[in-house]
Structure 1
Amino acid sequence: MALQDESYMAPRFEFLHREAAFSLIKMVAAAQTQGIQIAVVSGYRDFATQASLFQNRVGDLGSEAEAAKSVAPPGYSEHHTGYAVDLTDGAHDFRDFDQTPAFQWMVAHAHEYGFELSFPPNNLQGVDYEPWHWRFVGSPEAAGLFEAVREGQL
């Protein structure tokens, strides 16, 4: 399902699985009723897009091992699943999302819509903390897909 987000940038479309998209729409609407703005930065990513992001990070940091702490190698990104989304409040850089009321709202309410923070501080995967990166686990398919990761088996 395509989501159009015009809340903070030029109109753009992001793609997610249908159930994730519907839950995201409901969550964003609920936040808005409380004066909280949540904007989508990124949804589904294909292999080529992820490869480009990863190679750019390798260029910045000098090694694939260091790059993989902050950008998943192609084939390993949660964005490939269509269940992951990067968020911001539309007024701040997404990397500063945890300093916003929108992030605090997400921490308190995201689970009500089937979302969880993918990479909290000190996560078992060893990935850098990403307050902007949330995954949908609100359907049996999505929960099953992330089960091993959630239990620290990957």
Structure 2
Amino acid sequence: MSPAIHNVATYITQFFNENMPFNQLLGLKVSHLDDFQAEIRLDWHDKLMGNPIHKILHGGVTAAILDTVGSVAALLHGVKNLSSEEDITAFYAQLPNGGTLDMRVDYLRPGKGEQFIATAQVIRRGKKVAVCRMDLHNESGRHIATGTATYII
């Protein structure tokens, strides 16, 4: 990763970790970014419970972490193709304009665990739209959910 792209990745990490109140409320933390993948971690706490009898992660939290990691991957994937300081400056200006166009979540297993790790890869990216594949596992590697989403970038 070039120094300029590393600086953008650091900015994206700080933006999602520190400037988004919903991410802070849930406890989402961007934990890893590279040219091909984004990763977000979430520690369990009882306020995230959807089923208090079985202590299972709420489905909305599952969807939220998948959506967030997909959007981070879509953003970062576009950054690696920026070639000039002008392009990077334009990227910062456009950052608030992105969003989710469509998302599908498949819930594979109950969300049990002490920590949840979401990863995303870009399947296809055009000039304005990116499609991502996302997965959620617990700390033991148990596959909890998978998703695909389309983002405007």
**TM-score, normalisation: structure 1:** 0.27
Of Structure 1 and Structure 2, which has the larger fraction of its residues in helix? Answer: 1
Please identify which structure carries the higher strand content: 2
Higher RCO (CA-CA < 8 Å; seq separation 6+)? 2
Normalization by structure 2: what TM-score? 0.27
